[in-house]
């Protein structure tokens, strides 16, 4: 892929305080994210993005968002969260035809590497837009997802840790001192924890079904790694109780200057890949609580990026519920 990954971000000038130029929610995606696929029966499929865009169009929400095209993340941006050896190994594994399997669940086709670089680039662009006050918050409608990708390992449908790339960019390019990651995917974000476990500038709060893939998150917890396991069959009541009892107090103590969301919607009741029972109202509710934290401590700065969610109608409705709250005045 070589020099094709060179990209210089150019943002339009912005006058602080001119809220006529500040859109509430940026929507960032790229057609490359539709070209990545891992086989005809794989649940992490291009139709996920189409289901989201169809629902946003049908609900009228898309007309209230400002669309941006995701750039390619650069090598320098990615090596903040992945080792150079790992980044090179992905490029070496990329096939010219067919599929290359990195683990039994995670494959690359000829377009996967570009899609992964776009997905990470979307979150990096989102951080620039929000910190630069070109948007109050942003949603990255991208794939492949990222929160299982560890510093040295692809797994769980994930190649590059998109959220981690954005968090590291906010810290290193914008000198933020405290950044929170909120992960409500049904699977524990082991990759994000692996990358930031020893970084005092980052707090991670998460819920996930346990025991369940990737079978971690319950050891090594700390005041900055607030991982709350939920038993199979848990519903919105248990989810909201965990948020109120564990997440919100931890976030208030940490006082984040920015919040990133690993927005997985596979804890939905209709999603057959897991066994939690959340509904669209639960995703709207938690988005509201996150906005309250961001308003109090982070100048309203939120960047959200798509992770899981495989029941297409439920995915579209859940993302719409999430974005409706993000886009509220």
**Catalytic pick from 148, 169, 188, 268?**
148
Which has the closest alpha carbon to 246: 204, 278, 297, 186?
Answer: 204
Cα-Cα-Cα-Cα dihedral sign, residues 159, 164, 166, 169? negative
Active site residue 148: yes
Give backbone dihedrals phi and psi of 222, rounded to 5 degrees, phi first: -150, -175
Give backbone dihedrals phi and psi of 313, rounded to 5 degrees, phi first: -60, -40
Q: What distance in Å separates the CA atoms of residue 270 and residue 99, rounded to the nearest whole number?
A: 29
Which has the closest alpha carbon to 185: 129, 265, 125, 250?
Answer: 265
Residues known to be catalytic: 148
């Amino acid at each position: 892929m070589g020099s094709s990954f060179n990209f210089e971000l150019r943002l339009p000038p912005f006058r602080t305080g001119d809220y006529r130029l500040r859109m509430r929610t940026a929507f960032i995606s790229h057609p490359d994210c539709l070209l990545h696929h891992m086989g005809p029966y794989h649940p992490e499929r291009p139709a996920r993005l189409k289901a989201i865009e169809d629902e946003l169009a049908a609900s009228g929400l898309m007309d209230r968002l400002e669309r941006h095209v995701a750039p390619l993340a650069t090598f320098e941006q990615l090596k903040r969260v992945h080792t150079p050896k790992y980044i090179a190994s992905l490029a070496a594994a990329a096939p010219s035809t067919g599929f290359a399997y990195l683990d039994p669940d995670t494959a690359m086709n000829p377009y996967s590497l570009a899609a992964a670089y776009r997905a990470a680039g979307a979150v990096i662009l989102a951080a620039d837009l929000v910190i630069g006050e070109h948007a109050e918050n942003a949603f990255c409608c991208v794939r492949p997802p990222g929160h299982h990708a560890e510093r040295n390992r692809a797994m769980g449908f994930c190649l590059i840790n998109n959220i981690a790339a954005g968090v590291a960019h906010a810290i290193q390019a914008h000198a933020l001192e405290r950044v929170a990651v909120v992960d409500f995917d049904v699977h524990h974000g082991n990759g994000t924890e692996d990358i930031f476990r020893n970084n005092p500038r980052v707090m991670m709060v998460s819920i996930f079904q346990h025991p369940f893939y990737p079978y971690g998150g319950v050891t090594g917890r700390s005041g900055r790694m607030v991982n709350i396991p939920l038993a199979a069959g848990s519903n919105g009541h248990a989810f909201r109780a965990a948020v109120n009892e564990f997440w919100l107090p931890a976030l208030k103590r940490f006082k984040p200057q920015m919040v990133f969301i690993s927005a997985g919607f596979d804890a939905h009741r209709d999603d057959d890949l897991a066994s939690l029972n959340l509904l669209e109202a639960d995703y709207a509710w938690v988005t509201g609580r996150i906005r309250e934290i961001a308003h109090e401590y982070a100048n309203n700065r939120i960047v959200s990026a798509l992770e899981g969610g495989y029941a297409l109608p439920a995915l579209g409705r859940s993302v719409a519920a999430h974005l409706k709250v993000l886009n509220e005045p």
